[in-house]
Amino acid sequence: MKRPAWFRSLAPIFAEEGTDRPQRAPWWFLIPFIVAVAAVALLYYRQQVLLIPVPARPLSGAVVDSRRQVGFTWTRIPKKSANYHIQIAADRSFKKMMYETRVKDQHEIKPRGIFEPGKSYYWRLQAVVDGKASPWTRTMRFRAE
């Protein structure tokens, strides 16, 4: 069987000393692929089985323009009608609540005029499907400028 050109270019990396006869790649060569597959499987499990939305924007550590309307987005729970409970706070423990709302079958909100330049804010959300609330997503921190 003739090997493709891209594989032949890797042959010297895994060749026996003194030859260019290719060997099988070592088992650890597959670790990045295994990690990527596991990450995708975990996201799928969280979204399909546990019905947990995935925050998309703003990501943790993002800097947003406080003069413009900031949009908060997340993935939808597939094949389900869901309500989403969104909280935005000035502290990580969500005791200083700045904004809180519930929306049905939407995956974006745009609160107006609540962010002050130079301050950090935290947000999280949960889905409510068939009367059952999912766990809260991880807390996302962003800074207004």
Q: DSSP secondary structure string, 57-111?
A: ESPTTEEE-TTSPPPEEEPPPTTS--EEEEEEESSTTS-SEEEEEEEES--EE--
- What is the maximum alpha-carbon separation in the chain? 69
**Whether the predicted pLDDT of 80 surpasses 90:** no
Question: Is 60 in the same domain as 27?
Answer: no
Partners of 63 in beta bridges:
143
Global pTM value: 0.65
Question: Is 10 in the same domain as 61?
Answer: no
Residue 122 CB coordination number (10 Å): 19
Question: Is 61 in the same domain as 36?
Answer: no
Q: What is the pLDDT of residue 120?
A: 94
Span 28-63, pLDDT tens digits: 778 988 999 998 888 777 666 667 888 888 988 999
Q: What is the pLDDT of residue 114?
A: 86
Question: Is 56 in the same domain as 106?
Answer: yes
Q: What is the pLDDT of residue 43?
A: 76
The count of structural domains within the chain is 2
Question: Is 55 in the same domain as 41?
Answer: no
Please name the amino acid found at residue 143: R
Question: Is 108 in the same domain as 139?
Answer: yes
Question: Is 20 in the same domain as 68?
Answer: no
Question: Is 89 in the same domain as 119?
Answer: yes
Question: Is 76 in the same domain as 116?
Answer: yes
Question: Is 76 in the same domain as 30?
Answer: no
**Whether the predicted pLDDT of 6 surpasses 60:** yes
Question: Is 133 in the same domain as 111?
Answer: yes
State percent of the chain over pLDDT 70: 79
Q: Which of 119, 135, 115 is nearest to 127 (CA)?
A: 135
The CATH number assigned to the domain holding 100 equals 2.60.40.10
User: What are residue 127's phi and psi, to 5 degrees?
Assistant: -105, 145
Task: Output the DSSP codes for 22-38.
Answer: B-PPPGGGGHHHHHHHH
Task: Give yes or no for a contact between 89 and 139, defined as CB atoms under 8 angstroms apart.
Answer: no
Question: Is 59 in the same domain as 110?
Answer: yes
Mean pLDDT for all residues in the chain: 83
Q: Which domain holds residue 120?
A: 51-144
